[in-house]
Each structure stands twice: as C-alpha cells, then as structure tokens.
Structure 1
C-alpha cells in the first residue's frame, strides 16, 4: 500500500548494493527536503523519544495527510523524508493501515540503524499515526 514516492525510494535502494550508498541516499533525501519554518519548531510539534531534535507538523488538506518535518541531524532529516514519501497524500483514514515497519524493512533500515535511531523512527511513525487519528 506504499505511495509512488516511497516505491521510487525502494527501487533506488534495490540498485544501491552497499549500505553506505543507501545511507548517503537517505541523507540526500533529507537535504532535498524544504526546511521547516523556525516558528513551527515548538514544543507542540516536537517528537519525544528521539535522540535528535525532531519536529513534525501536520498539513492535512482535502482529507489527505501531509506534514512538514525537520531535525537537527542529517540522517534523521533523511528518515523524515522517507516517512514523508510513505505517508504524504494518503487519505487520513488510511494512515493507520500502513504497515510502516514492514515498508521500512523493505529498505533494510531496521538492520542498519542504531537502536537510538530505530527508537526515534518508531516515535516518528507513532506521532504521524496519532496526528492522522486526531484529524480523522
């Protein structure tokens, strides 16, 4: 049930044999993401449970989920970009049906992230699910 944008990332990962190349690609995805406005980086948008500073602000329009996100760590910014590809444009009521761990496992992220980063990624997914549930 992945979006086309997420499928594009998954296809790119299939061509990148080395985890270091995949890691660099995730960082590049983060660099390509537009920065979040400083005014949105407030306690209400901060994601708890992340080692890095992470902010996620929902942007729901016409019943479709989207969000702005940012982090002070480049790899985490890239992970936010991956999550954006997974969730952006999906109808709000379908967000909870996305099996994020399974989709992210397709990228091998679960095998190569530190336990702190994995916990942070789970916290971001949970925050997105809660934001969508509140909006739905």
Structure 2
C-alpha cells in the first residue's frame, strides 16, 4: 500500500467502488474488513505523528544549548572567560530587592535572589552577586530558567548543570564555586515552590461563616 492509500484510508479503486452502495450496511463484509484495517492503520499513523512532534521543555532546550557552548571550550581559562562574559550580560538588580530575605545562604560570595510569577504563570528571576564568577553562574541560571514554567524549574537538578563543565580547572576555589550552582538553584526552587503554593492557596474558594 502506497503513502496515498495510507493517508486517505482507501485505495482509489475501493473509493470509486463505494459509490454504488448508498447504504453502508450493503457494502460487502470483505470490503468492510479492508476499510476497518485501513482505518486502524490511519489511527496508528496519527498516534505516531503525535509522539514524533512532541517537544522537550523550554528549560531543557536552553540548558542543552548552553552546555554545548561551554563543552565546546576545551581550555578551563576559556570557560572562565565565558562565565565573565555572561556576568556582564546579567540584568541590573533592583536595589529595593537587596534585602536579607533575598540573601542566598551557603555561598562564599554574597548572592541575592528575587523570584516572582508573571501573569502567564512563568517564573521570573533576578539575581546578583558581589563576585564576578558567581554572577556568571547566576547569569547562566537566569538564561536557562527565567520565564520557564514552575514545573520545569522544580525538575531541574544540579547534576544537569554539571554538563556545562564550568567547574573544572577553576583552581583551589573550584569546589565552593561548583557548590554555588547547587545553592542558588536550590534557593530558586524553594522560592518557586512557595510562590506556587501561595498562588494555589489564594485560588481556593474561601469558606464563608454565616452567623445565626
């Protein structure tokens, strides 16, 4: 059976032959069986198409692109330079958000993180640090996760970030800098989870107490 036959569910010969039977019940059982089998093939074909056109998450696509960018740099110094380049691209941090509640703990450098949900349900992040290397890390995280759905943010793992290989060759402070990935990501996820929980709480119908 050629592709035209598969796409329509009937061969040209069968389709032309159906016209002499106005009542579908009058169609011979052998032809009904052929049509049934062709319809089953069409259903399978459509199901396969649905599977093939499924897309990965926005954050996963961004991470893959960024990881490819860093792993293409074989020299550690070049990866450090790329981090510093991303540090320069980090958007300015709102000074009003530089408060103790937005401080990320566990990092050697000072890091501030502000998180909110936009009107479309996306997660928006603003980050800053007093360390240029850490700012580079923050900028990469912003590049991957800013605007992503909360579910995507919560599914991200620190191990996924290791594909970028930026911690290798950074010297004696490499371990603390790699930990910055984990600490900042964990803070992003905790605050995202809290915002989602707060949004769901507000969406719940309020029980009214009627006094007698």
Query: Is 1:109 equivalent to 2:166 in the alignment?
Result: yes
Please give the alpha-carbon distance, in whole angstroms, between the structure 2 residues aligned to 1:131 and 1:112.
Answer: 31
**Alignment match, 2:80:** 23
SS in 2 for 1:106: helix
Q: Is the 8 A contact 2:113 2:128 kept in 1?
A: yes
5+ long unaligned stretches in structure 1: none
Q: CA deviation at 1:29?
A: 0.3
**Alignment match, 1:96:** 154
Please give the alpha-carbon distance, in whole angstroms, between the structure 1 residues aligned to 2:193 and 2:165.
Answer: 27
Please give the alpha-carbon distance, in whole angstroms, between the structure 1 residues aligned to 2:190 and 2:92.
Answer: 23
Query: Is 1:54 equivalent to 2:111 in the alignment?
Result: yes
RMSD between superposed Cα atoms in Å: 1.7
Q: Which has the higher contact order (CA 8 A, sep 6+)?
A: 1
Query: Is 1:41 equivalent to 2:98 in the alignment?
Result: yes
Q: CA deviation at 1:32?
A: 1.1
5+ long unaligned stretches in structure 2: 1-56, 197-212
Structure number with greater Rg is 2
Please give the alpha-carbon distance, in whole angstroms, between the structure 1 residues aligned to 2:84 and 2:116.
Answer: 23
Please give the alpha-carbon distance, in whole angstroms, between the structure 1 residues aligned to 2:176 and 2:115.
Answer: 24
TM-score (norm 2): 0.59
Query: Is 1:73 equivalent to 2:131 in the alignment?
Result: yes
Aligned residue pair count: 135
Q: CA deviation at 1:95?
A: 1.6
1:58-115 CA distances to partner (integer Å, 9 max, x unpaired)?
A: 132121112000000000000001111221121113321122x232111113444522
TM-score (norm 1): 0.88
Please give the alpha-carbon distance, in whole angstroms, between the structure 2 residues aligned to 1:26 and 1:7.
Answer: 16
Please give the alpha-carbon distance, in whole angstroms, between the structure 2 residues aligned to 1:63 and 1:121.
Answer: 24
Q: Is the 8 A contact 2:103 2:111 kept in 1?
A: yes
Please give the alpha-carbon distance, in whole angstroms, between the structure 2 residues aligned to 1:132 and 1:112.
Answer: 32
Match of 1:127 among 175, 187, 192: 187
SS in 2 for 1:23: helix
